[in-house]
Structure 1
Amino acid sequence: MVMSNPFIVGPSASEKVDQSLPMFTEFAWNFEKDDFVYKRDGSHEIVTGKEAIKVWVLHVLRCERYRYLAYFDDYGLELERFIGTGPNDGQRRTELFHYVKEGLMVNPYITNVTALKVNQEHKKVIMEIHLETVYGEVAMGIEV
């Protein structure tokens, strides 16, 4: 059985990214309404570059790795292991960030991920991450 790859096969995180990658595209996403953006004719709006990276990151964060046969094993994150299994202390937040970074670095358009801030609000962990991409820098707040 052949599975689709959500992006082209690219260099590993340790290799220099080839600037000749095709333009990264995704379906546009309305982050406030948590839904796709459609054109007047009902077709999907398309975004490219940094905006497409943001959409891709959101969807990777929502996909549990190894669960869906439609994706290769390197797509998604292993976050369920953190739910209800221990205290949300500094060590767990650091481990959580490493899982997030590992999941995002499979995209050849992302060259580095750093955590600007990791906070806990009740039972939620809120991360402010900084992405270095082939299109420039992107800062995002994510809830994991």
Structure 2
Amino acid sequence: MALSPIAELITRETEADTMTTIKTVYPSKTYKFDFDTGEIKGNIDGMEAIKQFVRKALSTPRFRYLIYTNQYGSELEDLIGQNIPDELVDAEVPRLIEEAISYDDRILAVSNFSISRKGDALYATFEVDTVDGTIEQEVKV
């Protein structure tokens, strides 16, 4: 019986060589945030919670809000309005995205970046390998 009234812990067994390791995986249940209206509309878990985390972490400027730790948020906003060559931006955007979200233990890898420009806007599309599977995300920088 779990001490938390919210949910039981999930236990997964993995084998490495001849030793068996038991890893406790905590639920990722969180509120469902509507980015268009700013309203909270229920709860989500699993892949939907990870997708929301990625979107929210990339849209929150790092170090701006005291409620968040120094690990939370991104520094993508720092690229806006800078006189930086396109080649440097194409190299920095993947690094900043990976840095912003890879500290979460549900995220295993961030890869397959594609950078595109439409007018003054810069879009980055990438894949996020998670403990629950792979998701594709797009962010406007």
In the TM superposition, what are the counterparts of 1:100-139 in structure 2 within 5 Å?
Answer: 100-139=97-136
Structure showing greater radius of gyration is 2
Please report the RMSD computed on the Cα atoms of aligned residues, expressed in angstroms: 1.9
8 Å contact kept, 1:104–1:110:
yes
Q: Which runs of 5+ in 2 are unaligned?
A: 1-21
Partner of 1:143: 140
For residues 118 and 33 of structure 2, the distance between their equivalents in structure 1, rounded to whole angstroms, comes to 26
Length, aligned pairs only: 120
Partner of 2:10: none
Partner of 2:24: 20
8 Å contact kept, 2:30–2:44:
yes
Change (3 A) 1:102 1:46: same
3-state secondary structure, aligned to 1:20: strand
TM-score by length of 1: 0.74
8 Å contact kept, 1:118–1:127:
yes
Q: CA deviation at 1:57?
A: 1.1
8 Å contact kept, 1:110–1:134:
yes
The answer to whether structure 1 residue 73 and structure 2 residue 76 are counterparts is no
Higher strand share: 2
For residues 66 and 37 of structure 2, the distance between their equivalents in structure 1, rounded to whole angstroms, comes to 24
8 Å contact kept, 2:28–2:46:
yes
The answer to whether structure 1 residue 55 and structure 2 residue 58 are counterparts is no
Off by >3 Å, runs of 4+ in structure 1: 33-37
Q: Which runs of 5+ in 1 are unaligned?
A: 1-17, 39-44
For residues 134 and 100 of structure 1, the distance between their equivalents in structure 2, rounded to whole angstroms, comes to 18
8 Å contact kept, 2:94–2:113:
no
TM-score by length of 2: 0.76
Greater relative CO, 1 or 2 (CA 8 Å, sep 6+): 1
Question: Identity rate of aligned residues, in percent?
Answer: 24
